[in-house]
Amino acid sequence: MSDPSLLDVTGLSVAFGSLKALHRVSLAVRPGERFALLGHNGAGKSTLFRTVLGFVSPASGKVEVAGAAPGSDKARRTVSYLPESVAFPKALTGAELLAYFARLKGQTPKSAMPLLETVGIADAANRRVGTYSKGMRQRLGLAQALIGRPELLLLDEPTSGLDPISRGDFYAILDRLAGEGTAVVLSSHSLTEVEARTDRIAILSRGRLVAEGSLAELARAAALPVTVRVKAAAEDAGALHARIGGRRLNGRSVELDCAAGDKMAVLSRIAALGDVVADIDIDTPRLDDVYRHFSGHSAGGEA
Amino acid sequence: MKATLNRIAAVTAIEIRLSVRNRWVALSTLILVLFALALAFLGSGPAGASKVGALTLTAASLATLSVYLIPLIALLLSYETIAGEVERSTLPLVLATPVRRFEVLTGKFVGHLSVLTLAIVVGYSIAALAVVAVHGADLHGALAWARLIATGVLLGAVFVAIGILVSASTARVGTAAALLVGIWLVLIVLYDLALLAGLIVDDGGFFTKSLFPALVIANPGDAFRLYNLAALEGSAPVAGIDGLARSLPFPPSLALAALAAWLAAMIAAGLWRFQKVRP
C-alpha cells in the first residue's frame, strides 16, 4: 500500500451558487481510525459526506476514496453511508430491506442476515419497520451500512435522538469495526459522546476546518486551562488559599487554573502540602469547551 | 451486465413488494374489476339483441373508460417513487451503493408496470369471463378484449413513465401529487373538451380536416381509444371525438406508434431528470 489513507480530502471547496458550503478543507482518514466531524447545522458536515459519495462536485480541490474518484465503482464498494434521519418504508420488514440493500451491493441476501444479529435486532427481523423504535431503525441503518464489509463508513449524525443505552451499543459496534480495520467517519452535534469514542476530531465551522487532531491535541491547541479543585482537610480554606492561591469556592475548597503543561508541577506542589489537603478534583477541558473555543472563533459574527 | 440485471431486479422486486404491502395491487385490481363489471352489466352495454356480440360492445365501452382509469392508476402507482425516497432520505442511501441511476429508474418502471399489468390482465379477464358466462363468446369480441388489454398496458406504461418523470422533477411528494392531478386533468379531460370546442367553433373547416386528427392521435389517451375503436371496424356505436375512428385519415397502427413515441419520450425525459436529481 503506497497510500495508507482510505479517505483523502485535499483543499476541497464546494459552492452552491454564491454560498460557500466548504472552503479549502483538507483531511485524511486511515484504516481503523474513528474520526469525528463536528460542527453546528450548516457547518458543512453533510456536504462533505455528499462530496465524498460523489453526489456533489467540488468547485476546487480533490477527494479520493481508496485512491479512486468519488462515485466510481471502486469508491462505492469502499464506502458505506448512513444518512441523517433515514426513514425506511414502514411496510417492509427489516430482513426485506437488508436483503434489498445486499442485492444492490452485489451481495447475497443470505450473507447479510447475520448483520441483524450484529446490531442486535435479529428478533425483529420479520417485523415491519413501522413497528420499530427509533433506536431499532438506526440499528437497521447501521446493519445496512455494514453489508459487504465496507472499508470506510460514513455516518451522518448516527446517534442523534438515541437513548444513552442505544447510543452506547451503537458505539460499541463501531469500536469493534474499527478494531477490525474499518475507518469510521461520523458527524455529530453531541460533543461529549464523541470524546471517548473517537481517535481524531475535526471541527467544521461555516465550511472551514477550524481544528483537527485528537482531543488532547485540540485541547493543547486551544490552550484551555486545567482546573484543579482542592478541598482543605480542616475546613480551613483560608490557610489553603494563602499557600496555593487561586479562588476560594466556599469554606472548604479552593479552585485554581493552570496551563495543561503546568499540571504536574501544580499537583506536586499541592501534594507537598500533606495533611492540609483532603481531596483533589481535576477538571480537564471537555470537548464541549474545546468545541466552543474553536467554533466560537470563526462563528463570532453569527447570532 | 449480470450485475446490472441483478440490481434492476432487486429494485423491481422491492417496488412490487411495497405495492403488495400497501395494498396497491389489490386495490387497483379491484377497481378495474368493479368498473369493468359495472360497464358490462349495468351500463348501456349488451342489452338489446344487436348483431354485434356482447363481448365486443363491452370492449368498446371499456376502451372509453380505460382512458380515465388506467392513467389514473398508473400515476397513483408511480408519482411517489422518487420524490418519496428524497423525502425519506433513502435515495442517498440507495445511490451510495454501486447501483446506477438508470438501473434504479428501470427497476422502478418495470415494478410499477408489473403491478399495473397484473391489475389490468386480472381485472379485465374477470370481467370478460363474466360477460362470456352470461352472453356467450365470439372470436371477434375475444380479439377486441385482447387488443384492449395489450394496448391498455401500453397506455399504462406511458403514464407510469409520466409519473416517474413527475416524481423525479420535484423533491416533494405533495408537489408530485398536485402535478399528477393536473396532468391527468389536462391530458385526459380538458384536452378532449378543448378539441370538441375546436370542432364546434370550426364547423368542418381546416381545423377539423387537417389539425384535429393529428391532435387526437398526439394525445396518448385518445390514441389508445382511437386505436381500439377503429379496430372494431364500425361494429360498435361511437360518439363525440371518437367519430374520428370512422374517418381516420391514416392507418390505426399510427395511433400505436404515437403511444410508443410517448413512452420513449417520457422514459428518456425521466432518465434525464433523474440524472439531475441531487440526493
Q: What is the pLDDT of residue A2?
A: 44
For the cut 90, the answer to whether the pLDDT of residue B54 exceeds it is no
Q: What is the pLDDT of residue A299?
A: 41
- A130: CB partners within 8 A, 6+ apart: A90, A91
Domains of chain A by start residue, with CATH = 7-220 (3.40.50.300), 225-284 (3.30.70)
> Mean of the pLDDT values across residues A240-247?
82
What share of chain B has pLDDT > 70, as a percent? 91
From A71, which residue of chain B is nearest by alpha-carbon distance?
B96
Q: What is the pLDDT of residue B239?
A: 62
Residues in chain B whose Cβ is within 8 Å of chain A = 3, 6-7, 9-11, 13-14, 17-18, 21-22, 88-90, 92-99, 278-279
pLDDT digits (tens, 9 = 90+) for B254-278: 999 999 999 999 999 999 999 999 8
What share of chain A has pLDDT > 70, as a percent? 95
Q: What is the pLDDT of residue A15?
A: 92
For the cut 50, the answer to whether the pLDDT of residue B53 exceeds it is yes
CA distances from B276 to A163, B101, B256, B259 (A): 38, 10, 31, 26
| Contact yes or no for B14 and A82 at CB 8 A | no
pLDDT digits (tens, 9 = 90+) for B4-23: 999 999 999 999 999 999 99
Rounded CA gap, A49 and A208, in Å? 14
| Contact yes or no for B10 and A73 at CB 8 A | no
- What is the extent of the structural domain holding B6? 2-276
Least confident range from B10-24, B40-54, B110-124, B222-236: namely B40-54
Rounded CA gap, B73 and B133, in Å? 28
Rounded CA gap, B164 and B108, in Å? 8
For the cut 90, the answer to whether the pLDDT of residue A114 exceeds it is yes
From B107, which residue of chain A is nearest by alpha-carbon distance?
A104
For the cut 60, the answer to whether the pLDDT of residue A132 exceeds it is yes
Q: What is the pLDDT of residue A79?
A: 94
| B1-5 contact pairs (CB < 8 A, 24+) | B3/A106, B3/B98, B4/B100, B4/B103
Least confident range from A73-82, A113-122, B48-57, B85-94: namely B48-57
Number of domains in chain B: 1
- CA-based nearest residue to B58, from B132, B117, B150: B132
| Contact yes or no for A101 and B97 at CB 8 A | yes
Strand partners, A231: A253, A279
Best to test chain A binding among B5, B14, B276 (most A CBs inside 10 Å): B14
More confident residue, A291 or B129: B129
pLDDT digits (tens, 9 = 90+) for A67-105: 999 999 999 999 999 988 788 999 999 999 999 999 999
For the cut 90, the answer to whether the pLDDT of residue B185 exceeds it is yes
> Mean of the pLDDT values across residues A12-22?
90
In this prediction, residue B246 has a pLDDT band, given cuts at 50, 70 and 90, of: low
From A145, which residue of chain B is nearest by alpha-carbon distance?
B93
Least confident range from A175-179, A253-257, B121-125: namely A253-257
What share of chain B has pLDDT > 90, as a percent? 59
| Contact yes or no for A55 and B22 at CB 8 A | no
Q: What is the pLDDT of residue B237?
A: 62
Q: What is the pLDDT of residue A17?
A: 85
DSSP letters, chain A, are: -----SEEEEEEEEEETTEEEEEEEEEEE-TT-EEEEE--TTSSHHHHHHHHTTSS--SEEEEEETTB-TTSHHHHHHEEEE-TT----TTSBHHHHHHHHHHHTT--HHHHTHHHHHTT-GGGTTSBGGG--HHHHHHHHHHHHHTT--SEEEESSTTTT--HHHHHHHHHHHHHHHHTT-EEEEEES-HHHHHTT-SEEEEEETTEEEEEE-HHHHHHHHTPPEEEEEEETTS-HHHHHHHH-SEE-SSSEEEEEE-GGGHHHHHHHHHTTGGGEEEEEEEPPPHHHHHHHHHHHHSTT--
For the cut 80, the answer to whether the pLDDT of residue B43 exceeds it is no
| Contact yes or no for B97 and A104 at CB 8 A | yes
> Mean of the pLDDT values across residues B211-228?
89
- The cell for A96 is 426485506
| Contact yes or no for A88 and B88 at CB 8 A | yes
pLDDT digits (tens, 9 = 90+) for A36-54: 998 888 889 999 999 999 9
Rounded CA gap, A175 and A169, in Å? 10
Residues in chain A whose Cβ is within 8 Å of chain B = 50, 53, 55-56, 73, 76-77, 79-89, 91-92, 96, 100-101, 103-106, 141, 144
For the cut 90, the answer to whether the pLDDT of residue A218 exceeds it is no
> Mean of the pLDDT values across residues B129-150?
89
> Mean of the pLDDT values across residues A195-205?
84
Q: What is the pLDDT of residue A70?
A: 94
In this prediction, residue B207 has a pLDDT band, given cuts at 50, 70 and 90, of: confident
In this prediction, residue B240 has a pLDDT band, given cuts at 50, 70 and 90, of: low
Q: What is the pLDDT of residue A303?
A: 32
Least confident range from A129-138, A184-193, B152-161, B239-248: namely B239-248
pLDDT digits (tens, 9 = 90+) for B104-130: 999 999 999 999 999 999 999 999 999
In this prediction, residue A24 has a pLDDT band, given cuts at 50, 70 and 90, of: very high
In this prediction, residue A248 has a pLDDT band, given cuts at 50, 70 and 90, of: confident
CA distances from A198 to A34, A207, B129, B222 (A): 5, 21, 68, 64
| Contact yes or no for B89 and A83 at CB 8 A | yes
| Contact yes or no for A104 and B13 at CB 8 A | no
From B13, which residue of chain A is nearest by alpha-carbon distance?
A100
> Mean of the pLDDT values across residues A215-230?
81
For the cut 80, the answer to whether the pLDDT of residue B167 exceeds it is yes
In this prediction, residue B234 has a pLDDT band, given cuts at 50, 70 and 90, of: low
**Mean model confidence pLDDT for chain A:** 87
Q: What is the pLDDT of residue B60?
A: 87
> Mean of the pLDDT values across residues A290-300?
66
Q: What is the pLDDT of residue B51?
A: 56
> Mean of the pLDDT values across residues A195-216?
85
For the cut 80, the answer to whether the pLDDT of residue B235 exceeds it is no
For the cut 90, the answer to whether the pLDDT of residue A266 exceeds it is no
In this prediction, residue B136 has a pLDDT band, given cuts at 50, 70 and 90, of: confident
More confident residue, B207 or A60: A60
In this prediction, residue B204 has a pLDDT band, given cuts at 50, 70 and 90, of: confident
For the cut 50, the answer to whether the pLDDT of residue A240 exceeds it is yes
